[in-house]
Structure 1
């Protein structure tokens, strides 16, 4: 999967870097961003194949990031990470253009399969 690059967006540095390490061990190159604004800056310069973003972040939330990305690239798969409680439901997130919504804490063993399937659905 060397040509499949993931952008991980989360304001929690430990989670962000932990996910990056996990995906890179699984042979998925990753970029990371601390918030939505940082992610938008990275997306202007870098090619990514999937965005994995927390929903609650300062400066630019995951939903705001989703909306801004979909204005420019409606086909880029976007996976939202959230805790059990959120102001956005799964259905609302899908209507806004999210590919999938995953609950924290994450099932790390199943994560690679879910991300791979989400990407595959996005390119078909």
Structure 2
């Protein structure tokens, strides 16, 4: 999946780097950002196939990031990661354009399977 590029956005460095490592082992190309503002800066210069973003972050939350991404590219899939306690409901996030909401802790095998089987084929990226 080297042709499939994911932007991972999370303010927790260990989690962000852990997710990145797991995806890279599975041959995905990954970029990382520590918050929504950094993610938006990266997206100015980089094309990605999917944004995987935490919902709770300083400066620019996952929902703020989602809104700003959808203003520029309504077709870019964004998967929101959240704990069981969030200030937004699943319906609200999906209504704003989120592709999917997943609860932490993540099942990485399930996540990779979803991306490989759902998002990559829709975007014309071969596994």
CA distance in 2, matches of 1:31, 1:10: 11
Aligned to 2:29: 29
| Unaligned 5+ runs, structure 2 | none
Whether contact under 8 Å (2:49, 2:123) holds in the other structure is: no
Shift of 1:122: 5.0
User: Which stretches of structure 1, 4 residues or longer, exceed 2 Å deviation after superposition?
Assistant: 115-118, 120-124
| Unaligned 5+ runs, structure 1 | none
User: TM-score, structure 1 length as denominator?
Assistant: 0.95
SS of 1:101's partner is strand
Over residues 33-82 of structure 1, what are the superposed CA-to-partner deviations in whole Å (9 max), with x where a residue is unaligned?
00000000000011100000000000000000000000000000000000
- Which stretch has the larger CA shift, 90-99 or 113-122? 113-122
The alignment covers a number of residue pairs equal to 124
Cα RMSD, aligned residues only: 1.3
Aligned to 2:64: 64
Relative to 1, partners in 2 of residues 1:54 and 1:71: Cα closer, same or farther, differing over 3 Å?
same
CA distance in 1, matches of 2:121, 2:69: 18
Shift of 1:123: 3.2
Whether contact under 8 Å (1:76, 1:122) holds in the other structure is: no
Relative to 1, partners in 2 of residues 1:92 and 1:122: Cα closer, same or farther, differing over 3 Å?
farther
User: TM-score, structure 2 length as denominator?
Assistant: 0.93
Relative to 1, partners in 2 of residues 1:83 and 1:35: Cα closer, same or farther, differing over 3 Å?
same
